[in-house]
Amino acid sequence: MTYPDFLTTLTAAAPPATLPPPLRALWHDHRNQWSAAHNIAQTNETATLYCWLHAYLHRREGDTGNAGYWYRRAGRPNFTGSLQQEWEALARAATEI
Protein backbone atom coordinates (compact mmCIF):
# COMPACT_ATOMS: atom_id res chain seq x y z
CA MET A 1 0.00 0.00 0.00
CA THR A 2 1.27 3.45 -0.86
CA TYR A 3 1.07 6.49 1.39
CA PRO A 4 -1.63 8.13 -0.80
CA ASP A 5 -3.61 4.85 -0.74
CA PHE A 6 -3.39 4.80 3.04
CA LEU A 7 -4.65 8.38 3.27
CA THR A 8 -7.77 7.41 1.35
CA THR A 9 -8.63 4.82 4.02
CA LEU A 10 -8.91 7.51 6.69
CA THR A 11 -12.45 8.39 5.66
CA ALA A 12 -13.71 4.81 5.94
CA ALA A 13 -15.96 3.84 8.85
CA ALA A 14 -13.48 1.16 9.90
CA PRO A 15 -9.89 0.37 9.02
CA PRO A 16 -9.59 -2.00 6.06
CA ALA A 17 -8.85 -5.55 7.17
CA THR A 18 -5.81 -5.58 4.89
CA LEU A 19 -4.03 -2.71 6.69
CA PRO A 20 -0.80 -3.84 8.32
CA PRO A 21 -0.88 -3.34 12.10
CA PRO A 22 1.26 -0.16 12.23
CA LEU A 23 -0.99 1.51 9.66
CA ARG A 24 -4.07 0.27 11.51
CA ALA A 25 -2.68 1.91 14.66
CA LEU A 26 -2.13 5.18 12.80
CA TRP A 27 -5.65 4.91 11.38
CA HIS A 28 -7.02 4.65 14.93
CA ASP A 29 -4.78 7.46 16.13
CA HIS A 30 -6.10 9.67 13.34
CA ARG A 31 -9.56 9.05 14.82
CA ASN A 32 -8.37 9.92 18.32
CA GLN A 33 -8.67 6.29 19.38
CA TRP A 34 -5.48 6.28 21.42
CA SER A 35 -6.12 3.05 23.30
CA ALA A 36 -6.78 1.07 20.13
CA ALA A 37 -3.59 2.44 18.58
CA HIS A 38 -1.58 1.78 21.73
CA ASN A 39 -2.85 -1.81 21.96
CA ILE A 40 -1.46 -2.42 18.47
CA ALA A 41 1.88 -0.77 19.30
CA GLN A 42 2.25 -3.14 22.24
CA THR A 43 1.91 -6.27 20.09
CA ASN A 44 5.54 -6.20 18.93
CA GLU A 45 7.80 -4.39 21.36
CA THR A 46 11.00 -5.51 19.62
CA ALA A 47 10.34 -4.25 16.07
CA THR A 48 11.82 -0.82 15.40
CA LEU A 49 8.72 0.57 13.69
CA TYR A 50 6.46 -0.54 16.54
CA CYS A 51 8.83 1.03 19.09
CA TRP A 52 8.78 4.29 17.14
CA LEU A 53 4.98 4.11 16.95
CA HIS A 54 4.87 3.47 20.70
CA ALA A 55 7.11 6.51 21.28
CA TYR A 56 4.88 8.71 19.12
CA LEU A 57 1.76 7.61 20.98
CA HIS A 58 3.26 8.39 24.37
CA ARG A 59 4.50 11.72 23.07
CA ARG A 60 0.97 12.42 21.84
CA GLU A 61 -0.46 11.74 25.30
CA GLY A 62 2.16 14.03 26.85
CA ASP A 63 4.24 11.31 28.54
CA THR A 64 7.64 12.49 27.32
CA GLY A 65 9.59 10.23 29.68
CA ASN A 66 7.90 7.10 28.37
CA ALA A 67 8.18 8.41 24.82
CA GLY A 68 11.93 8.86 25.31
CA TYR A 69 12.24 5.26 26.44
CA TRP A 70 10.51 4.03 23.27
CA TYR A 71 12.56 6.32 21.00
CA ARG A 72 15.68 4.77 22.51
CA ARG A 73 14.24 1.27 21.97
CA ALA A 74 13.59 2.27 18.34
CA GLY A 75 17.16 3.55 17.99
CA ARG A 76 15.84 6.99 17.06
CA PRO A 77 16.35 10.47 18.46
CA ASN A 78 13.34 12.11 20.07
CA PHE A 79 11.24 13.61 17.30
CA THR A 80 11.33 17.39 17.43
CA GLY A 81 8.74 18.26 14.79
CA SER A 82 5.00 18.50 15.27
CA LEU A 83 2.84 15.51 16.07
CA GLN A 84 1.33 15.78 12.59
CA GLN A 85 4.80 15.67 11.01
CA GLU A 86 5.69 12.61 13.03
CA TRP A 87 2.40 10.90 12.16
CA GLU A 88 3.15 11.51 8.48
CA ALA A 89 6.73 10.24 8.84
CA LEU A 90 5.48 7.08 10.56
CA ALA A 91 2.82 6.51 7.93
CA ARG A 92 5.34 6.94 5.14
CA ALA A 93 7.76 4.55 6.85
CA ALA A 94 5.00 1.98 7.36
CA THR A 95 3.95 2.12 3.71
CA GLU A 96 7.53 1.50 2.57
CA ILE A 97 7.81 -1.91 4.24
C-beta of residue 22 within 8 angstroms of C-beta of residue 53: yes
Nearest C-alpha neighbor of 12 from the set 22, 27, 26: 27
Mean pLDDT of 13-34: 97
pLDDT (tens digit per residue) in 26-76: 999 999 999 999 999 999 999 999 999 999 999 999 999 999 999 999 999
Among 46, 51, 3, which Cα is nearest to 23's? 3
DSSP assignment string, 69-94:
HHHHHHT-PPP-S-HHHHHHHHHHHH
Residue 97 clears pLDDT 90, i.e. is over it: no
Per-residue confidence (pLDDT) for residue 6, from 0 to 100? 97
Q: How far is CA 33 from CA 46, 60, 94, in A?
A: 23, 12, 19
- How many CB atoms are located within 10 Å of the residue 48 CB? 13
Domain ranges for the chain, please list them.
Answer: 19-95
Write down the pLDDT at residue 13.
96
